[in-house]
Amino acid sequence: MDIFETYLQEKSFAKATVYQHCRYCGQFLEWLETQQISPSDCSYNDLLSWIDHLKQNGDSIKLINRKLLSVRHYFSFFQLKNKEAANPAAGLYLKSSRKRLVSGIVSFDKLEQLYQNYQIMDARTLRNKVILSLLVYQGITTDELHHLETEHVKLREGKLKIPGNKRSNGRVLHLQAFQVLDLQEYLLTVRPKLTSEKDGQLFLSMEGNPELKNSLHHLFRALKKVEPQISNANQIRQSVVTYWLKNHNLRQVQYMAGHKYVSSTERYQQNNIEDLQKEVNKYHPLG
């Protein structure tokens, strides 16, 4: 188990996450021992028996899926030394615990219209329009927004580098031409008024504070007055990823959204199916 712990640490997992994976895998290996099954002989059906054992012990579906994730990591580690070994936990999860998407998916046309109609009147609104553009065209999260630095903006290349973290993968996305112009103006005329530092966090509050919570609150309060359907940045991101899936393949969208697992992207396909069913029900002659 010590070697497995080192493997997880090399994967840059947080200390608490490493501890949790090791604990859950320890429980799994203890169960295998009681069943006289070696890890190399463990099969898909054996895992189903283990899941049934967990259910009988009162584990929730959400907890079982967390334990399955740990077991998947264990078998991936096991495969490093046993090249011919399979990962019986690959793709195994309990679907009933699938996270639901936020309600109120907004069409991309409406998001573009919202962006285009947002008026620049001063330094604050220029900064806010640049932020809004990254939400709409790059599907960035508020956490990623806080971690963007000036060096991540590649104006000459027309690209934005979004650094990864423990929740999402890093990626490099193209900027729209008008985004390049607005970002250049923000960097030259607005940001210098907020801080004397040339490098560092890209977006700051108007008081030079790195915390943007209040700034985003005021931005969305203004947007809601224009479009009551808009509620928060997460809703915009959900809507953008849903739109991307209608125009790009699954793996492309996984990269664009920074999803660590393709299953996270597949949830949005389900949303597309639900939207299609609504349209069928709406226009079907017998509806």
Token pair for 226: 């224009």
pLDDT at 58 over 70: yes
Compute the 3-state secondary structure of the chain and give helix, strand, coil in percent, each to the nearest 5: 60, 5, 35
Q: What is the pLDDT of residue 205?
A: 94
User: What is the tens place of the pLDDT at every residue in 97-144?
Assistant: 455 555 678 999 999 999 999 999 999 999 999 999 999 999 999 999
List Cβ<8 Å contacts ≥24 apart for 9-18: 12/166, 13/166, 14/166, 17/166
Distances (CA, A) of 92 to 10, 27, 104: 24, 18, 30
CA terminus-to-terminus distance, the chain: 58
CATH superfamily of 108-280: Intergrase catalytic core (1.10.443.10)
Most confidently modeled range among 10-14, 248-252, 277-281:
248-252
Token pair for 110: 């409406």
User: What is the tens place of the pLDDT at every residue in 154-173?
Assistant: 999 999 999 998 889 999 99
Give the confidence band of 263 by pLDDT, cuts at 50, 70, 90.
confident
pLDDT at 89 over 90: no
User: Which architecture, in CATH terms, is 2-97?
Assistant: Orthogonal Bundle (1.10)
Give the confidence band of 279 by pLDDT, cuts at 50, 70, 90.
very low
Three-state secondary structure call for residue 43: coil
Average pLDDT over residues 264-278: 64
pLDDT at 275 over 70: no
Sequence ranges of the domains in the chain: 2-97, 108-280
